[in-house]
Amino acid sequence: MGAAFRGTGSLTYGAIRAARNLAVTSLIAAGPAQADGVTIAALGDSLTQGYGLPAEDGFVPQLKAWLRDQGAQVEIINAGVSGDTTAGGLSRVGWTLTPEVDAMILALGGNDLLRGIDPEVSRANLDGILQAAEAAAVPVLMIGLDAPGNYGPQYEAAFEGMYPALADAHDAALIPDFFAPLTAETPDAAARRRFMQADGIHPSADGVEVIVEGLGPRILEWLDDLAR
């Protein structure tokens, strides 16, 4: 964290991040006259990409619309790739963090979970992504997932525990579970099917709406924190 940022002479990462946060502050506060606002890259898998949905009904478009309705001047780049694992995210984070990106939402791990990949491998990949964000002085909000119990309690604990551990290690914001708003809306698993697509894995447009309404306030709070 205190190491010199590559290519910036004597400036430290902390100084660069402070300068970037000052820019984010100005953009958030700029109001309707500011055309571009804060640019967020949403690095993720099919949940981010909007698998099975019309483009306007996916997570990124609905989140952008929700945030703008709250007065936030944001642009969100959809860097979600269906089927992507944490390893895939690590392989493309470098070209995702382009100079115009001010912040990043990191939502990966679902496909690692489906494939039963060792959580230590997933954790190392996510750690690499967070290191890349630190090198670019881009603040990150991580969105985790709850693991089912079919891989055993040790796997479940390791998978779920990697998100808060990495958030703490890299000073990243954290939302523990992408699907928490759906669980809160309908605790009964059978009843939640009305918010899911036929595959039972991906949310429907209505499901995405519930998720965005649940996660949106925390994401808006994160943006406000960056502006302080």
- Residues forming the active site: 46, 199, 202
Please count the other Cβ atoms lying within 10 Å of the Cβ belonging to residue 194: 10
Between vectors from CA 108 to CA 103 and to CA 111, what angle results, nearest 5°? 160
Residue among 23, 3, 10 at smallest CA distance from 139:
23
Report how far residue 18's alpha carbon sits from residue 21's, in angstroms, rounded to the nearest whole number.
5
Please count the other Cβ atoms lying within 10 Å of the Cβ belonging to residue 110: 23
Residue among 138, 213, 208, 211 at smallest CA distance from 173:
138
| CA of residue 74 relative to chain centroid, distance | 15
